[in-house]
Amino acid sequence: MSQENSVGDISWEGVKKMNIKFMTEFIETRVAEPLDSLKLHRDVAALTRLNGVSNVTYKVTKNKVNNYSVTFTVIENWSILPNLQLWTTDEAEAAYRVGLFDYNFLGRNNTVGGYFQSNGIPSYGLFFSAPFLFSANFGLESSFQKLASFEPIFITDLPSRYEYTNTGVEVLGVYRLNYRNSLKLGANFFSEEYQYRSGPTDVNVPQFLEVDKVMIKSNYIFDNLKYDFYLVNGFRNNFFGQYVFSSNAFQNEFIIAWNDLSYFKRVGKTGNWASRLRLGLSSNDSNPFAPFSLDNNLNIRGVGNIIDRGTGVLVFNTEYRTTIYEKNWFVLQGNAFIDSGSWRQPGGNFNDFIDSENFRIYSGIGLRFIHKTIFNATFRIDYGYGITRNSSSGIVFGIGQYF
């Protein structure tokens, strides 16, 4: 192999917390291999997706022995930060989540943390994720969560109110095929409990239900996004497939799958158009405990806290983000959005998606307070107003962009 066009050495500048050995193994560029500009561009794109990295540039210089030195200059993210989410509407009580996470534990893109949540009743969760634990391409994710909430169960035209609790342990293997494609596969072992609180009843619907389940989970990610600090350009596709085994005859085994297709377009220097299309389907049992929910924090801003459930979902979110003010590390961003969606009722058919009773359209505006070098440090406030009939309105707070 000719040494004249090869990489003689790789160095790193600006590194404080990131593990240099990990980054050197993570990138495609290798010492003693041919210098390849396409690999360098892919390395920059891959590095900027790491939790601990805010921005990366590289410089190539020819050295005295007729090969090349590659220097990556890294601007790191501050990765230890609190998690805060608040949400409310005109018709629902306030809810919140507080937590603390390190998104770059040991400088290797690991996540360690936990949260406490109150949505009328307490919930909590603990997480450990090490996607590159065993190699630069193979790792795992794990969690323990006890999630509880009051949820509407539509037994008649009027909803009943049930207290729902989900307690489970999850372990997933993570494999990175290349810098664009990755796969997750594993299982969640959990117990669900439904306790009737108020509203209509039916002799065929239990007022108390406890069921142990096993969920086989898969997640395929195609990520071709390019980041320039808080600005994003490109496509990302996220597919989730799950198969659930149940120990209770009232709830059959079922399949659930959904796909998120996201598109981001830079507009001028500081404008960003962002869109997400979500399509999901599950086994279509005529069962009030359907898996997809219509909720403020998941799909339509301003609609309320879990106001409906279904066995199919079609949601389109689009918004335009623009920088109002930027200086040094701080950015104030404004956005205008339209969230729309429709649901298939449990036991229904595909015509439910075009039934006006199941369709919601909300528009609104919001603000983003962004720190450019703290991981996911975007504090958002959105106000959504319903356009379709019998709609509500509400304010949604959170950390990170909505999608």
Residue 75 to residue 16: CA distance in whole angstroms:
9
Mean pLDDT of 281-294: 84
Q: What is the pLDDT of residue 293?
A: 87
User: 222 pLDDT exceeds 60?
Assistant: yes
Tokens representing 134? 């065993």
Residue 199 predicted with pLDDT over 80: yes
Is residue 12 a contact partner of residue 72, using CB atoms and an 8 Å limit? yes
Longest dimension (CA), the chain: 85
Pairing mode of beta strands 68-76, 7-13: parallel
Examine the pLDDT at 300 and tell me if it is beyond 90.
Answer: yes
Task: Give the C-alpha separation, 317 to 373, whole Å.
Answer: 27
At residue 158, the pLDDT reads 74
- Tell me the fold of 7-76: Ubiquitin-like (UB roll) (3.10.20)
Give residue 334's pLDDT: 98
pLDDT of 4 reads: 67
Mean pLDDT of the chain: 91
Q: Where along the chain do its domains lie?
A: 7-76, 80-399
How far is 168 from 182, CA to CA, in rounded Å? 24
What is the architecture of the domain spanning 80-399?
A: Beta Barrel (2.40)
Displacement of CA 279 from its chain's centroid (Å): 15
pLDDT at 252: 76
Residue 260's contacts (CB-CB under 8 Å, 6 or more residues apart) are 236, 237, 238, 239, 276, 277, 278, 403
Contact 75, 373 (CB under 8 A): yes
Query: Which pLDDT value is given to residue 106?
Result: 96
pLDDT band at 169 (very low <50, low <70, confident <90, very high): very high
pLDDT value of residue 176: 96
Cα 175 to Cα 251, 261, 358, distances in angstroms: 32, 21, 38
User: What value does the mean pLDDT take over residues 65-71?
Assistant: 91
* Full-model pTM: 0.84
Task: Indicate if the pLDDT at residue 313 is higher than 60.
Answer: yes
Segment 52-70 mean pLDDT = 93
Count of all residues that appear for the chain in the document: 403
170 in Cβ contact with 126 (< 8 Å): no
- List, for residues 141-155, the tens digit of each pLDDT value: 999 999 998 877 777
- For residues 320-333, give the mean pLDDT: 97
Cα(140)–Cα(130) distance, integer angstroms: 5
pLDDT above 90 coverage of the chain, percent: 71
Q: What is the pLDDT of residues 365-382, one digit of tens each?
A: 999 999 999 998 899 999
Instruction: Look at the block and give the residue holding tokens 């975007």.
Output: 378
Type of residue found at 88: T
- Please report the pLDDT score of residue 249 as a whole number: 66
Can you give the pLDDT at residue 390? 83
Contact criterion met (CB below 8 Å) for 324 and 348: no
Q: Both tokens of residue 374? A: 């703290």
Confidence band (pLDDT; 50, 70, 90) for 62? very high
pLDDT score for 253: 86
Q: Phi/psi zone of residue 347: left (φ > 0), alpha (ψ -120 to 50 degrees), beta?
A: left
Q: Which of 348, 335, 275, 273 is nearest to 309 (CA)?
A: 348
Residue 5 pLDDT class (50, 70, 90 cuts): confident
Q: Give residue-wise pLDDT tens across range 84-106.
A: 777 664 445 677 889 999 999 99
Q: Which residue's entry shows tokens 């962004």?
A: 370
Question: What one-letter code names the amino acid at 234?
Answer: G
- Mean pLDDT for 7-34 is 96
3-class DSSP state of 354: helix
pLDDT of residue 1: 45
**Is residue 262 over pLDDT 50?**
yes
